[in-house]
Chain A
Amino acid sequence: MSVLFVAVPIAVLLAASGLVAFVWATRRGQLDDLETPPLRMLLDDDAPPVETVSPPPR
Chain B
Amino acid sequence: MLHTESFAPTPAALAQPALVPPIECRHCGSPVPGMLLEPGAEQQFCCAGCRSVFQMLHAHELESYYQQPRGDADAPQPALTTGRDYTELNDPAFLDSFSSTNGAERSAELLLEGVHCAACVWLVEKLPGLVPGVTSCRLDYARRVAHVSWAEHSPELPARIAQTLDRLGYPPHPYRSGSRAEIERREDRALLLRVAVAGACAGNSMLFALALYAGAFSDMDPALLGYFRIWSVLVALPAVLWSAQVFYRGAWAALRTRSAHMDLPLSLGIVLAALSGTLNVARGHGDIYFDSLTMLIFVLLSARYLQGAQQRRAEQRAGSAQALTPHTARRIAEGGAVQVVPAESVPEGAQIEVLAGEVIPVDGQVVAGQSAVDRGWLTGESQPEAVSPGSSVLAGTTNLAARLVVRSEQSGSATRAARILREVEHAALHRAPIALLADRVSAYFLVGVLGASLLAFLIWLPAGIATAFETAIALLVVTCPCGLALATPLAVSSALAQAARAGLLIKGGASLEALARPGWIAFDKTGTLTEGQLSLTEWIGDESVQPLVKSLEAQSAHPIARALVQALAGVEALAVVDFEQRQGVGVSGLVAGQRVSVSAPHAVPVPLPEWAHNAVERLSRAAQTPSVVCVAGEVRAVLGLGDPIRPDAVATLLRLRGLGHRLGILSGDRQQVVDALVERLEQAAGSRLFELWRGEQSPEQKLAWVEQTRARGNVFMVGDGVNDAGALAAASVGIAVHGGAEASLQAAHVFAARSGVLPVLELVEGARRALDVIRTNLAFSLVYNLLAVGLTLSGHITPIWAAIIMPASSLSVVAHSYRRRMFRSGS
Contact = CB atoms under 8 A, between A and B. Distances in A.
Interface of A: 1, 4-5, 8, 11-12, 15-16, 18-19, 22-23, 26-27, 29, 31-36, 39-40, 42-44, 47-50, 52-53, 55-56, 58
Interface in B115-159: 118-119, 121-122, 125, 138-143
A52 B63 contact: yes
A22 B57 CA distance: 40
Contacts of B42: 55
20 contacts: A8-B231, A11-B207, A12-B231, A12-B235, A16-B200, A22-B193, A26-B196, A29-B185, A31-B192, A32-B188, A32-B189, A35-B140, A36-B138, A36-B140, A39-B141, A44-B64, A44-B67, A53-B58, A53-B63, A55-B42
Contact of B121 (A11, A36, A49, A56): A36
Contacts of A22: 193, 196
A23 B194 CA distance: 10
**Among the interface residues A39, A42, A56, which one has the most CB atoms of the partner chain B within 10 A?**
A39
A12 B26 contact: no
Contact of A52 (B66, B118, B221): B66
B204 A15 contact: yes
Top 8 closest A-B pairs, CB basis? A47-B64, A35-B142, A49-B61, A36-B141, A43-B122, A39-B118, A52-B63, A19-B200
B224 interface: yes
Given A15-B203, A36-B141, A23 B193 contact: yes
**Among the interface residues B66, B119, B193, which one has the most CB atoms of the partner chain A within 10 A?**
B193
A32 to B, nearest CB: 6
Given A23-B196, A31-B189, A33-B141, 8 more contacts: A11-B207, A15-B203, A31-B192, A33-B142, A36-B138, A39-B118, A40-B125, A55-B43
B240 to A, nearest CB: 16
Interface in B62-84: 62-64, 66-69, 71
Contacts of A58: 23
Contacts of B121: 36, 39-40, 43
B765 interface: no
Contacts of A43: 68-69, 118-119, 121-122
A27 B68 contact: no
Contact of A35 (B58, B122, B138, B141): B141
Contacts of B119: 43
Contacts of A52: 63-64, 66-67
B168 to A, nearest CB: 15
Given A26-B189, A36-B121, A49 B231 contact: no
Contact of A32 (B58, B185, B227): B185
A16 B204 CA distance: 10
Nearest to B123: A43
A49 B207 CA distance: 55
A49 B62 contact: yes
Nearest to A46: B64
**Among the interface residues A33, A43, A50, A56, which one has the most CB atoms of the partner chain B within 10 A?**
A43
B24 interface: yes
Contact of B71 (A8, A19, A39, A55): A39
Nearest to B185: A32
B197 interface: yes
A25 to B, nearest CB: 10
B192 A36 contact: no
Contact of B224 (A4, A12, A15, A40): A4
Interface string B165-201: 0000000000000000000010011001100110010
A45 to B, nearest CB: 8
Contacts of B64: 44, 47-49, 52
Contacts of A11: 207
A22 B195 CA distance: 11
Contacts of A49: 61-64
Interface string B631-674: 00000000000000000000000000000000000000000000
Contacts of A4: 224, 227
A31 to B, nearest CB: 6
Nearest to A42: B69
B68 A44 contact: yes
B305 to A, nearest CB: 11
Given A39-B121, A47-B67, A52-B66, A15 B200 contact: yes
Nearest to B231: A8
A46 to B, nearest CB: 9
Interface in B215-243: 221, 224, 227-228, 231, 235
A42 B118 CA distance: 8
Contacts of A19: 196-197, 200
Contacts of A40: 121-122, 125
A5 B227 contact: yes
Contacts of A26: 189, 192-193, 196
Contacts of B189: 26-27, 29, 31-32
A10 B24 CA distance: 64
Interface in B1-49: 23-24, 26, 42-43
A6 to B, nearest CB: 11
Nearest to B221: A1
Contacts of A8: 227-228, 231
B170 to A, nearest CB: 15
Contacts of B58: 53
A30 to B, nearest CB: 10
Contacts of B26: 55-56
B63 A56 contact: no
A12 B204 CA distance: 8
A26 B199 CA distance: 15
Contacts of B61: 49-50
Contacts of A1: 221, 224
Contacts of A42: 68-69, 71, 118
Contacts of A12: 204, 231, 235
Nearest to A58: B23
Contacts of A27: 189
Nearest to A23: B193
B360 to A, nearest CB: 37
A24 B253 CA distance: 31
Contacts of A47: 64, 67-68
A19 to B, nearest CB: 5
Contacts of A50: 61, 63
A2 to B, nearest CB: 9
A16 to B, nearest CB: 8
A48 B125 CA distance: 18
B308 to A, nearest CB: 14
